[in-house]
Amino acid sequence: MEPRVIARTHYQIHEPAYMTLLVQRCTAPTRGTYPEVAARRLAQEVGALGRRLNEKAAEYGVDLARAIGLLNEHCSWTDKALLLSLFWVKKEGGITDQLRLHPREQLVYLRLFLEADGAALLYLASKALELGKLPVGAWTWNALAQEMFLAIYQDYLAFTTSTPQRVWLREQIRRIRAKGYRGRGGEHKMLVHLQALYRLGLLRRAENETVREFRLPGDEGQVACLRCLVEGIRTVLALEEIIANGDWAEMACKALTSMSDCRGAGRAVQGDDQIISLGVTAYDRIMATGVPLCPLSTLCDAVAFESLLRAKACIGRQDVLDALNRFRQGNPKGVRFHVDRQGRPAYLRVSKDLVREVLGDV
């Protein structure tokens, strides 16, 4: 099992919204491209918005998009990129405006970063609550980076049973203990994780010409959100369980500042009509991108997030799948599941007539 921490980083590639630009403007859902071409397009897009980004840094941006699951090996969209496209909010203005995350986008980025980088977010959130700011006093960025990576790798070593993975983890621990981080290496390693917490509204960033610093939010409600994230996950084993169960909406309900009016709602029962209405609406938008089949993972997340935003109701992945199964049973000719290589339902196809029938009632 791979540790959920992003290790390959670049100091210029730290803004989550760069991934939105890469998906929306530099790549396509059904057509691949070369990584260097996608990187060049990203550098041009960022430059057009008023900020310099060299192509080498942009290549790290492509690597980051792959690491958080937005692009595949051919640099075309994955199911997570389709989800991001559903919740992307168009913004006017320059780079400062483009980099702010709308609450709809925060939902998706919380999901993306918890799955790809959750161990780092959990560690840094705990440290911020403990110390009030990062870094603090004589505790340098390099010391923070060394302690974080050692703690995460040791946590995973404690329960990983795969021999090759255990060998790899032990080698990483040995290397970090022997070499640590020097110069500005630790700061650059930390920035992407902390900036994600900042853009999610869970930390406050103070910056001047000579120092970067991340503090607890001044608002007690925002601090409570950060505490909910830590208390809702606590360990990497709990993180793995959340990811396996797909409890993204419930975690967002507890953790995101933008969802503060939803906190405490917990699980809610949504009728099949509401779930299918949201599901078919999302399905229609997904298929409009030109993909041949609709990924069930994207559809389940989209329904859960829209239910949270519209009805203040937290529903789980299995709730959506159960409703879709009943929808298929009632419309055997209009609804079909397609399986993946393991024989599990992974994609959905709905007839155009049935889509029109459902959307006509929305």
SS3 125: helix
From residue 57, how far is each of 11, 42, 51, 60, 134 by CA, in Å? 8, 10, 13, 5, 25
pLDDT tens across 64-111, in order? 999 999 999 999 999 999 999 999 999 988 898 999 999 899 999 999
How far is Cα 260 from Cα 141, in angstroms, rounded to an integer?
31
Instruction: Determine the Cα–Cα distance for residues 357 and 248; give it in Å rounded to an integer.
Output: 30
Token output for 71: 């692009």
Q: How many residues does the chain have?
A: 362
The number of CA neighbours under 13 Å toward the Cβ of 251 is: 30
Contact 95, 46 (CB under 8 A): yes
CA 274, chain centre distance (Å): 25
- Distance CA(45)–CA(40), nearest Å, equals 9
Question: What per-residue confidence (pLDDT) applies to 210?
Answer: 55
Name the band, by pLDDT with cuts 50, 70 and 90, for residue 39. very high
Question: What is the structure's pLDDT at 228?
Answer: 86
Lowest mean pLDDT among 22-31, 133-142, 149-158, 182-191: 133-142
How confident is the model over 127-146, as a mean pLDDT? Answer: 86
Mean pLDDT within 156-182: 94
First-to-last alpha carbon distance for the chain, in angstroms, is: 43
Q: Give alpha helix (H) positions in the chain.
A: 17-26, 35-48, 55-67, 79-87, 95-99, 103-131, 141-159, 163-179, 185-199, 220-233, 236-245, 248-255, 272-287, 296-311, 317-330, 352-359
Q: What percent of the chain has pLDDT over 90?
A: 66
2 pLDDT band (50/70/90 cuts)? confident
Place 113 in a pLDDT band, splitting at 50, 70 and 90. Answer: very high
Eight-class DSSP state of 234: -
- Region 320-339 average pLDDT: 95
The average confidence (pLDDT) of the chain is 90
Q: Decide: 156 and 236 in contact? Cβ < 8 Å.
A: yes
Question: In 3-state terms, what secondary structure has residue 115?
Answer: helix
Per-domain boundaries in the chain: 17-100, 101-264, 272-359
Residue range 272-359, CATH number? 1.10.10
In which band, very low, low, confident or very high, does the pLDDT at 362 lie, cut at 50, 70 and 90? very low
The string of pLDDT tens digits covering residues 3-37 is 999 998 888 899 999 999 999 999 999 999 999 99
Is pLDDT larger for residue 261 or for residue 151?
151
pLDDT exceeds 90 at position 154: yes
Instruction: Give me the residue label for tokens 């009016």.
Output: 261
Q: Which helix H or strand E contains 261, and what residues bound it? A: none
C-alpha closest to that of 19 among 188, 192, 184, 253: 192
pLDDT of residue 222: 81
Identify the three-state secondary structure at position 176.
helix
Per-residue model confidence (pLDDT) at position 214: 92
- Residue 57 tokens read as 């840094």
Distances in Å between the Cα of 165 and the Cα atoms of 2, 119, 260 are 8, 17, 39
Q: Which of 196, 79, 184, 204 minimizes the C-alpha distance to 141?
A: 184
Residue 229 is predicted with a pLDDT of 86
- pLDDT number for residue 361: 54
Considering only CA atoms, which of 74, 2, 64 is closest in space to residue 32? Answer: 74
CA 54/CA 42 separation, integer angstroms: 9
pLDDT tens sequence across 223-280? 888 898 898 888 899 899 888 888 787 788 777 766 555 554 555 556 889 999 999 9
Q: Rounded to 5 degrees, what angle do the CA atoms 344, 28, 115 make? A: 50
